[in-house]
Amino acid sequence: MPRRRQSPHQRRPQQSIAAGNEHAHQPFSWPRVFRRAWVSGSVASIISTLMVMGWSRRIDGATPAGTNAASQWVWDRSARRARGWSWRHTAIGYGVHHASSVFWALMYEGWRHRHPGRPLAKASVIAALAYVVDYHVVPPRLSPGFEHRIARPGMLMTYAAFALGLYLADRRRDTRR
């Protein structure tokens, strides 16, 4: 006797996961979204920081210069001139970047949880939105600051690395299931 075709709402969770809808069986939960955002934001932060550092070294000759510039949130313009490794500039700059990465990851994870599928496209949209907000909405002092230390190609690669970080964290979670 042929099996009757099930609607997506009648499928068991395993079938939804196999179909690429990994969140379909889980009700929306802010704690879960926050946990996922912490992980994906951290991965995106690390990968994009490595990109900033690489471009800083290439363009400016000082590896931490781009990361230091992000400390302009605290130290204003002096942060843009800081070239060496320091708690004052490098650690605070990374902390600012990491916090903003987790913020954008929270948006990504909330969107992914409510509307699964196409994670790379969603990560790219979030990275593009982050760029627009960072450079066309907020005051210059609240921008990431590394635009003063890396060239335009470095900016493009940094936001692409951020999107890749969101995506890779998401893919890693899916392969572990």
pLDDT in tens, 94-110: 999 999 999 999 999 99
DSSP state of 89: I
Highest mean pLDDT among 26-35, 70-79, 126-135: 126-135
Q: Where are the alpha helices (DSSP H) in the chain?
A: 13-18, 30-60, 65-69, 72-75, 78-81, 92-114, 119-136, 152-176
In this prediction the pTM is: 0.80
- Structure confidence by residue, pLDDT tens digits, 43-99: 999 999 999 999 999 998 999 999 999 998 888 888 888 888 999 999 999 999 999
How far is the C-alpha of 120 from the C-alpha of 166, rounded, in Å? 8
